Structures are given as C-alpha cells and as structure tokens.
Amino acid sequence: MVNGVLRMMGNVSVMKRTRPKEILTETRKMIYSKPPRNKIGAVQSFFVMSVFAAAMLTPAAWILHHLPEYRQRSKQVQQSRRT
C-alpha cells in the first residue's frame, strides 16, 4: 500500500527496490486457504449482527427521538439573543 502511494508520488528509489515477485509473495502470505478452525453457527452470527446493528442505530434513534426538544432549545436561544 505504501509502495503504491510512493510510486504515485514519483519516488523513483522505491520503484527500483520493489519487484513484482516480492509484492506477490507478500500478498500470498496474507491469504489463507485452510478452512476455519472454529465454525460459527447461525445463532452466533445473528447475535453479533444484531448487536452491531443496535450499536450503529441507537445514536441515530436517540437524536431522532429528541429532535423536537433540540428545536425548542434552538428557538429559545434565538429569542434570547434578540432581546
């Protein structure tokens, strides 16, 4: 990733040191071809996804629920600034 950024910036010294074979071996090290050691069931997947969804949607729901209060506060602040 860094090598690609430096290449785009025009750093010639990095281009001389980096060879396609080296890049290919680096990416092959990150790829695993074996099956997983522990299988995750449907119940565990559903639980994790529901917790993730709740964590993402709770702040938005809080803001939408309290939106009328926020509007009243902004109107009060605007009225106090006028006087």
pLDDT, tens digit, 9 for 90 and up, residues 59-80:
999 999 999 998 998 888 888 8
* Residue 60, pLDDT score: 95
Residue pair 3/14 in contact by the 8 Å Cβ criterion: yes
Residue pair 3/18 in contact by the 8 Å Cβ criterion: yes
Residue pair 39/50 in contact by the 8 Å Cβ criterion: no
State the virtual CA torsion across 75, 78, 76, 64 in degrees, nearest 10: 40
pTM (whole model) above 0.85: no
> Which is nearest to 22 in space by CA: 32, 11, 14?
14
Report helix, strand or coil for 31. Answer: coil
What is the domain partition of the chain in residue ranges? 1-33, 42-82
Residue pair 14/7 in contact by the 8 Å Cβ criterion: yes
| Average pLDDT score over residue span 25-36 | 70
| Average pLDDT score over residue span 10-17 | 53
